Amino acid sequence: MAAKVTVLSLLVEELNSGRVKVVDLTQPLDKDTPVIDLPPMFAPSPGFSMQTISKYDDKGPAWYWNTIHLGEHTGTHFDAPIHWITARTTRTTHWIPFSTQTGRPACVIDVSKKSLSTRTSC
């Protein structure tokens, strides 16, 4: 019996053949994650902090989880333009169809070596 062709099976086939490449642009969040640096007249954005709720202990014997706290301008975020006055009447990203954000040509600019030697404020 022939296997049913699904979008997922086609994606797996394309990934396995190398015709589709996925580039993970995520970055870990930690105390060193960049935060927007605004002039002193504006409220500062808090950086990333994390408090353990439970870690396989009395508060949660079978799980590890945390509370995180950060300003929404910590690191990068997809809907950054909506945060400025020029976009106050624009819909936020939850209105953008996911299909318009995938399958598009991309250019990867690797600055990892340069970023190791240079640290700039955001």
What residues act catalytically? 83
DSSP one-letter string for 65-87: EEEEE--TTBS--TTGGGGSGGG
SS3 100: helix
* Cα–Cα distance measured from residue 36 to residue 15, given in angstroms and rounded to the nearest whole number: 36
